[in-house]
Amino acid sequence: MSGAIASSEFRYAGSELELFEKARNWKAYWRGQIAGFVHGQVLEVGASRIALPPGGRHETAIGTIGDLAAQAGVGYDTILYIDVLEHIEDDRAELARAAARLKPSGALIVLSPAHPFLFTPFDRAIGHFRRYTRASLGAIAPEALRVEKLAYLDAAGMLVSAANRLLLRRSMPAAWHILAWDRLGVPVSRMVDPIFAGRVGKSVLGIWRKPA
């Protein structure tokens, strides 16, 4: 199923998409982390189709799950929020609505920036309301869903982000910063993240499943 549902209320800065568009290693990394949970009829909430390769059979909602209200009864096997939930002010209500749209055994997947202490003017400028910890993301998940995974990703990226926040104090990352992190840092994270067992990283990944 393909299509798009537009919303004027959803803030997603184009600069954010453009900056990270060339982060190929990072996209391949987190796609590998969620691949086993993405199946069937997929809804990706956000501004662009980034979670699945081009040609993947899924629907993109440019906005929130509330923009699908007119399509009552439509259910999904997978609902994705990839760098999206932090843009939505009432995140708890958003995930509750998403859970109601899941089919039995369906998966809800959220990838968001981690750690409030890393919040910068850049976050604010591109419409982020917050950054998450594992605890805060887990706390807003609907109780009816069973947690499958709740972990930090990209330990090397966290060190880079912390250095920028505490030392360099740049509000807007330069393109070469993104490329250096993607080409050098992400491969390191692939190796060390399993050692840290999801306890360290600049992004947080949450995966929940609806009981059959």
Tokens matching residue 87: 């843009």
* Local confidence band at 1 (pLDDT 50, 70, 90 cut-offs): very low
CB-neighbour burial class of residue 15 (10 A; exposed 0-12, middle 13-18, buried 19+): exposed
Query: Helices 186-196 and 155-163 meet at what angle, rounded to 10?
Result: 110
Q: Domain 4-209 class?
A: alpha beta
What's the predicted TM-score (pTM) here? 0.87
Contacts of residue 18, Cβ cutoff 8 Å, sequence gap at least 6? none
- The share of the chain scoring above pLDDT 90, in percent, equals 61
Identify residue 140 by its one-letter amino acid code: I
Three-class secondary structure of residue 102 per DSSP: strand
According to the model, what pLDDT value does residue 132 have?
A: 98
Domain-wise residue ranges, the chain: 4-209
* Local confidence band at 116 (pLDDT 50, 70, 90 cut-offs): very high
Three-class secondary structure of residue 78 per DSSP: strand
* Local confidence band at 9 (pLDDT 50, 70, 90 cut-offs): very low
Q: Give the pLDDT mean for 146-163.
A: 93
pLDDT beyond 60 at 77: yes
Alpha helices in 105-149 (DSSP H): 121-125, 134-140
CB-neighbour burial class of residue 6 (10 A; exposed 0-12, middle 13-18, buried 19+): exposed
User: How many CB atoms neighbour CB 193 within 10 A?
Assistant: 22
Tokens matching residue 101: 């749209």
According to the model, what pLDDT value does residue 130 have?
A: 97
Tokens matching residue 100: 């109601």
Contacts of residue 163, Cβ cutoff 8 Å, sequence gap at least 6? none
According to the model, what pLDDT value does residue 30 have?
A: 97
Tokens matching residue 200: 């360290």
Give the HSE-up count for residue 160: Cα atoms under 13 Å, Cβ half-sphere.
Answer: 18
pLDDT beyond 60 at 152: yes
**How confident is the model over 13-72, as pLDDT tens digits?**
445 666 677 899 999 999 999 999 999 999 999 765 566 655 555 766 666 787 775 555
